[in-house]
Amino acid sequence: MAQMDSATGGVFSRGATRFAPSPTGELHLGNARTALFNYLLARHAGERFVLRIEDTDAGRTRPEYIEGLLADLRWLGLEWDAGPGREDAHGPYFQSQRAAHYAGLFARLENLGAVYPCFCTALQLEASRRAQRASGRPPRYAGTCRDLTAQERERHRAQGLAATLRFRVPSGQRIEFTDLVHGPQSFLSDDIGDFVIRRADGSAAFFFCNAVDDASMGVSQVLRGEDHLANTPRQLLVLAALGLPVPRYGHVSLILGPDGAPLSKRHGAASVREFRERGYRPEALVNYLFRLGHSSPEHALLGLPELARAFDTSHLGRSSAHYDEQQLRVWQKSAVHQLTPEQARGWLAALLPEGIAAASADAFVAAVAPNVVLPEDAAPWVRIVFGGPPVLEPPDEQVVREAGPGFFAAAARAAVAGASDPAAITDAVRTASGRKGAQLYMPLRLALTGCRHGPELGPLLKALPAGEAERRLARFA
Ligand code: GLU
């Protein structure tokens, strides 16, 4: 159904979801999941996905956080239909650029008598809260400036006191809505104090701009953190006063660390940038986040279109989700297994020494990628393959010596003749020594790599620089 934007007169042919981050820090897993869920909900329902930057807190907003946020969302594949860089008639999509739009709505609320200027200082407000707490009442605005006369307001202004603008919460109302995750909700307006919608510096406050922007941008569904559930009745009051459309809200449970505390830096990597820099794949993160607080019968690594098809708000859990890096690593493993040779090369490129032959680099990636979860796991193999013949530990040297010089002479000869063809080497050694199975492979593996375990020997042999296999084998001939 077309939705009317009564503030700007715009008409929306389709509904929308949105992600509305405050750029006061790096994008962390919790927000990345909120972005993903809104993206999937939009794609599932054929709606638009809007990105709005809530940068009204000039003191805490930093341009590098905005840049980082956009880069992280793009890296995850969560392209937005409207937002920064994709402006349309319903923008701008930075709240810091929407002052003119807000001014009209503030004026409307003033004309309706739904708001009033408040001259209370931070100190006065704090004293009032303390007094309420002391007498066992929940702290809320005491209404000090609610009924000031025009003369009193003038007097305050003349004294140079800056005013905030407060929303006049109607008394005796029940505010009800059905949350997409938590079901029916009911709040009493008498429990809500009059709240600030414009700060003393003139900037729009969260309850106001978050709500009216959703209306102006045609947002029909909102998934956001559970910490905003208690804000919703205030936002509904603002929208009702202005006669603006109300989105359906769903409040998603928080992500907790293994110790039960909200996920944060001290649980290890928490920002998307850190995961990216450690070599996590976007597909792995997206698949992991999809299952964090959203149950699904789908157990395979899925692409975004498939995830969108499977996304269902009725599968969002009410209890907190627990972050578990081991689970993320499982998805990472699947993601690495599905890399194309070209993607795998790009993924490990930074580790490879300069100047190695392209064929050797390709063979290395093919040999090692299936065995590692993160690029850091491949670093020891770079040293083993490209760092010259490995030094053996005494027990390993013993295994090699026991195989005998004839074993390695045959192996080295086959390495020269067969240009490091693994089958040629093992055939030659089998014939020369009569050994088979581990008796055959372990001395070879140790002489070539210095390790008892690791990627398959055949592909590794192909990665060794020219002449290197022979050199390593001939040491023991
Ligand atoms: N800027 C708010 C935040 O980052 C948005 C809340 C919402 O999604 O409505 O928490």
Rounded average pLDDT over 13-31: 95
CA of 22 to the centre of ligand 1 (A): 7
Q: Is the per-residue pLDDT at 4 higher than 90? A: no
Nearest to 449 by CA among 438, 433, 464: 464
CA of 222 to the centre of ligand 1 (A): 10
pLDDT band at residue 421, thresholds of 50, 70 and 90?
confident
Nearest to 20 by CA among 281, 247, 175, 261: 247
In a domain, 467, yes or no: yes
CB of 229 shorter than 6 A to ligand 1: no
State pLDDT tens for residues 103-154: 999 999 999 999 999 999 999 999 999 999 999 998 999 999 999 999 999 9
Please identify, by atom number, the ligand 1 atom nearest to the C-alpha of residue 54. Answer: 1
Rounded average pLDDT over 468-477: 95
- Residue 93 identity: Y
In a domain, 459, yes or no: yes
- Position 267 scores a pLDDT of 79
Structure-token match 């009033």, residue found: 116
In a domain, 472, yes or no: yes
Structure-token match 């700060």, residue found: 199
CA of 98 to the centre of ligand 1 (A): 17
Please identify, by atom number, the ligand 1 atom nearest to the C-alpha of residue 31. Answer: 4
In a domain, 208, yes or no: no
Q: Is the per-residue pLDDT at 315 higher than 90? A: yes
- Position 269 scores a pLDDT of 67
List the single range of 133-147, 175-189, 298-312, 418-432 with lowest mean pLDDT.
Answer: 418-432
Q: What is the mean pLDDT of the chain?
A: 94
> Helices in 46-149 by DSSP H: which ranges?
63-76, 99-112, 122-134
CB of 293 shorter than 6 A to ligand 1: no
In a domain, 250, yes or no: no
Name the percent of the chain lying above pLDDT 90: 89
Q: Which of 93, 206, 224 to mutate to test the pocket of ligand 1 (most atoms within 8 A of CB)?
A: 224
CA of 38 to the centre of ligand 1 (A): 12
pLDDT band at residue 8, thresholds of 50, 70 and 90?
very low
Query: Does a cis peptide bond (omega within 30 degrees of 0) precede residue 262?
Result: no
CA of 68 to the centre of ligand 1 (A): 17
- Position 419 scores a pLDDT of 66
List the single range of 1-15, 156-170, 361-375, 385-399 with lowest mean pLDDT.
Answer: 1-15
CB of 375 shorter than 6 A to ligand 1: no
Q: Is the per-residue pLDDT at 3 higher than 70? A: no
Please identify, by atom number, the ligand 1 atom nearest to the C-alpha of residue 21. Answer: 4
State pLDDT tens for residues 363-408: 999 999 999 999 999 999 999 999 999 999 999 999 999 999 999 9
Q: Is the per-residue pLDDT at 1 higher than 50? A: no
- Position 258 scores a pLDDT of 86
Rounded average pLDDT over 310-319: 96
State pLDDT tens for residues 98-109: 999 999 999 999
**In a 3-state reduction of DSSP, which class is residue 162?**
coil
- Position 10 scores a pLDDT of 58
- Position 58 scores a pLDDT of 85
- Position 417 scores a pLDDT of 82
What's the CA angle centered on 446, arms 443 and 452, to 5 degrees?
A: 105
In a domain, 420, yes or no: yes
State pLDDT tens for residues 318-374: 999 999 999 999 999 999 999 999 999 999 999 999 999 888 999 999 999 999 999
In a domain, 297, yes or no: no
**Three-state SS across 392-405?**
CCHHHHHHHHHHCH
Decide which of 7 and 386 is more confident.
Answer: 386
Following DSSP, what letter does each residue of 409-466 receive, concatenated? Answer: HHHHHHHHHTTS-HHHHHHHHHHHH---HHHHHHHHHHHHHS-SS-S-HHHHHHHSPT
Rounded average pLDDT over 72-93: 97
Output DSSP code: residue 82: B
- Position 264 scores a pLDDT of 79
Q: Are 47 and 16 a contacting pair, CB within 8 Å? A: yes
Please identify, by atom number, the ligand 1 atom nearest to the C-alpha of residue 224. Answer: 8
- Position 12 scores a pLDDT of 84
User: Number of structural domains, the chain?
Assistant: 1
Structure-token match 């910490």, residue found: 227
Residues 6+ apart with CB under 8 A from 388: none
Residue nearest to atom 4 of ligand 1 (CA): 21
CB of 18 shorter than 6 A to ligand 1: no
CB of 228 shorter than 6 A to ligand 1: yes
| pTM to 2 decimal places | 0.91
Domain that holds residue 387: 339-477
Please identify, by atom number, the ligand 1 atom nearest to the C-alpha of residue 214. Answer: 9
Cα–Cα distance for residue pair 405/403, rounded to 1 Å: 7
Cα–Cα distance for residue pair 305/458, rounded to 1 Å: 37
Rounded average pLDDT over 31-55: 97
Q: Are 476 and 447 a contacting pair, CB within 8 Å? A: yes
In a domain, 51, yes or no: no
